[in-house]
Amino acid sequence: MANNLPAQSSILYLDQNVIRYVTNLRDDNPGVSLGRVIDRGVELGALICPFSHEHFWETSAIRDDNKRRAQLAWLARASRGACFLSREELVAAQLIALVRPKVFEGGDFFCEVDVAANEAVFREMKAALELKKKETEAYFSDYNLRRKKGRILRNIPREVRRVGELDRFFSGIADCIAYHLIGHAVPMDRPFGAEVLKVMINEHNVQRAELELILNQVISTKGHCAPLIKIQSKMHESWMLEQKEMTHNDIVDLHRISTALPYADILVVDAEQRRHLESTGLPAVFGAKVFSLESDFLVPLCDEIVLRIQRRLSYLNSLKA
């Protein structure tokens, strides 16, 4: 669902590290030049850099007031106020797209927010970050503890399946829909699924027949009918196959990437996440190009952005002709 039409803006997803990179005004920082190229693309309407809720969480944790405000000011300008929907809202929309004739476009998954909000918002986001960190650390503690104790994962396919079975965030969707259809209260230990169900019913007025179709799709595809679930699952598998321990930051990055990939034309992530993402083959499926800030990728990244600027300029000139 990437948007490559010159008449429209290309969607550029930036990892938090990239935002820090382009807002670091040191004289020897090549990221300043990259930031200027992006600024030019945004100014001409060739680019838009929407942020995610996780961007807010990470930015709220920056202690240095000047750095935090510099990143927010740049993000406000580059995003034009566009923010990806929350993961719960996004999964709900992706599941609804399975049973309704309307085709969701990238813009349907954005909401407008004021990124120049006051300090109270940052305090709230910091509290949310701490809570989320505790939840994700508790969720992955079993796997990480086994790694720290030196256990070798001999049966890799079984371990990969086990991660899928443990993923209560997504398997809970089917549970919550099923409980709702038989008139029972949704399970208390399935908060993600409960919120997805709530969004579908309260915000999109999904009917019983539609829920039954969605449930069948979720079960038959093991959740992969929703792009966000498929991306996150495939990237989990990539980490597991390398027997790598996932840190909290890795998990947050994975959440952001799975949110952005179906709708972004260009993604700029850290080197390890780029490698895991490319190993899944999913960027090609969604028509996205993936870069990192390694020296080998910096020039091609700038060239790609310049190409999109040139397309936009050609389109604007055609309107004048």
Answer yes or no: is 1 within a domain: no
pTM for the model stands at 0.78
Q: What is the pLDDT of residue 149?
A: 42
Residue 168 CB coordination number (10 Å): 16
Answer yes or no: is 177 within a domain: yes
Which amino acid, 202? N
Greatest CA separation for the chain: 69
58-77 burial, b if ≥16 CB within 10 A, otherwise e?
Answer: bbbebeeeeebebbbebbbe
Answer yes or no: is 102 within a domain: yes
Task: Work out the average pLDDT over 140-157.
Answer: 46
Q: Domain count of the chain?
A: 1
Q: What is the pLDDT of residue 132?
A: 65
Q: Domain of 173?
A: 10-320
241-261 pLDDT, tens digit each: 776 667 777 777 888 888 889
CA distance 204 to 221: 23
Q: What is the pLDDT of residue 239?
A: 79
Q: Contact, 33 vs 298, CB < 8 A? A: no
Whether 300 shows a pLDDT value over 80: the answer reads: yes
Answer yes or no: is 2 within a domain: no
Whether 153 shows a pLDDT value over 70: the answer reads: no
Q: What is the pLDDT of residue 254?
A: 83
Answer yes or no: is 117 within a domain: yes
CA distance 155 to 115: 46
191-233 pLDDT, tens digit each: 888 999 999 999 889 999 999 999 999 888 878 888 888 898 8
* Cα–Cα distances in angstroms (integers) from residue 204 to residues 86, 92, 97, 265, in the given order: 15, 9, 11, 27
